[in-house]
Amino acid sequence: MRIFCLFMLIISTITPSIAATLAQQTQRIISLSPHTTEMAYAAGLGNKLIAVSAYSDYPPAAEKLERVANYRGLKMERILALKPDLILAWQGGNPSRELARLEQLGIKILYSNPKTLADIPKTLERLGQYADSPQIAQQAAAEFRHQLQQLQLTNHNKPKVRYFYQLGSTPLMTVADSGWPSQIFQFCGGDNIFANSSVAYPQVNQEQVIFRQPQVIFSAQPIADTQQLWAQWQHQLVAVKQQHIYQLNTNWLNRPTPRTLLAIKQVCTLFDQVRGDH
């Protein structure tokens, strides 16, 4: 028993020192996606960010930072010149070959690819290890879990609602249950009409949507464009006939960050409106 207690005492003293060392060694951070930028600020790393990706627009302070990544790829020479201690990357969203090259050059990369809502607070806690005040990340993670639990109590056991989430119109694309942000729709009682697609982000056509008869259509595009696209099908689609076409806040919805809670509230509220009309 004495040995066990001594072991636990040693562990309890070593762990904080390791975290402190990580924070001290990590002073220059680059974020390569909008969601990792937002997560870095939420975890208390904003003061260490030296560069970010295009479309990193939240919080507003991020807009003042240099851009070193976009949909075309990474600005490798500039990233190397900035000499980061840590790079935050989006696994599956940033080019793997360029990331592998950076790792070969000795730059540490922390990958983020949340698959579930529970992964968001876990990622915050991982990032907090590199912050001067890890308590910020711990508090943010605890608050996220608390609010998520409260929302679950409010929205569980509600009737399912068939939905179609329109990512784009040319081509017409959607998301299967295996891709983000389906987790948000599922949380609110959504029944994805393309849930079992063999790819995460399938290309579909209007006939397939009509055959599956969604009760509501959500869109990442301006509402007027979506309404125009489906107007000719108002007699065939109940979602169009009952005017259940909604534009969602894509920054809340598509970025797995603490603001995902705002997306959940928005989607759940709209599902309740649809339920009220059936």
Structural domains in the chain plus CATH codes: 20-137 (3.40.50.1980), 158-276 (3.40.50.1980)
Is 72 exposed, middle or buried (CB count within 10 Å of its CB: 0-12, 13-18, 19+)?
Answer: exposed
Q: Is the dihedral of CA 59, 108, 179, 190 positive or negative?
A: negative
For residue 54, the tally of other CB atoms under 10 A from its CB is 14
pLDDT of residue 2: 56
pLDDT at 13 over 50: no
For residue 25, the tally of other CB atoms under 10 A from its CB is 11
pLDDT at 136 over 90: yes
pLDDT at 239 over 90: yes
pLDDT of residue 277: 83
Global pTM reads 0.90
pLDDT at 74 over 80: yes
pLDDT of residue 92: 82
**pLDDT (tens digit per residue) in 170-186:** 999 999 999 999 999 99
User: How far is residue 145's CA from residue 139's CA, in Å, rounded to a whole number?
Assistant: 10
pLDDT of residue 11: 40
Residues 236, 264 contacting (CB under 8 angstroms): no
HSE-up (13 A, CA, CB side) for residue 157:
2
pLDDT of residue 230: 96
- Average pLDDT across the chain, whole number: 92
The secondary structure of the chain in percent helix, strand, coil, rounded to multiples of 5, reads: 50, 15, 35
pLDDT at 9 over 80: no
Residues 31, 52 contacting (CB under 8 angstroms): yes
Residues 192, 183 contacting (CB under 8 angstroms): no
| Tokens (6 digits) for 71 | 């949909």
Helix (H, G, I), strand (E, B) or coil at 109: strand
Known binding positions: 55
pLDDT at 229 over 50: yes
The DSSP output letter for 108 is -
User: How far is residue 152's CA from residue 22's CA, in Å, rounded to a whole number?
Assistant: 35
Known binding positions for cyanocob(III)alamin: 55
Confidence of residue 199 (pLDDT cuts 50, 70, 90): very high
